[in-house]
Amino acid sequence: MSDHQNKLRPIFYDTETTGVKADRDRVIEIAAFDPVLNKTFEKLINPGIPIPKEASDIHHITDDMVASAPSFKEIAIEFSEFCEGNVCLIAHNNDAFDVHFLKNEYARAEVPFPSWKFFDTLKWARRYRTDLPRHTLQFLREVYGIEANNAHRALDDVIILHKVFEFMTDDLAFEDVYALLNKPRELQHMPFGKHQGTPIKQLPKSYVTWLSGSGAFDKPENQDLKNALVKHGLLAV
List the end-to-end C-alpha distance of the chain, in Å, as a whole number: 46
Q: What angle do CA 44, 49, 54 make, to 5 degrees?
A: 80
The alpha carbon of residue 157 and the mean position of all alpha carbons in its chain are separated, in whole angstroms, by 11
135 part of the active site? no
Q: CA-CA distances (angstroms) from residue 202 to 199, 232, 233?
A: 5, 9, 11
Nearest CA among 140, 101, 103 for reference residue 121: 140
Residues in the chain: 237
The DSSP code sequence of 114-177 is P--EEEEHHHHHHHH-TTSS---HHHHHHHTTPPP--TTSHHHHHHHHHHHHHHHHTT--HHHH
Q: Taking the CA of residue 159 as centre, how many other CA atoms within 13 Å lie in the half-sphere pointing to its CB?
A: 15
d(CA 230, CA 232): 5
List 100, 152, 162, 232, catalytic entry:
152
Which residues are paired to 30 by β-bridges? 15, 43
Q: What number of other Cβ atoms are within 10 A of residue 221's Cβ?
A: 18
Q: How far apart are CA 131 and CA 97, in angstroms?
A: 24
Name the residues annotated as catalytic: 152
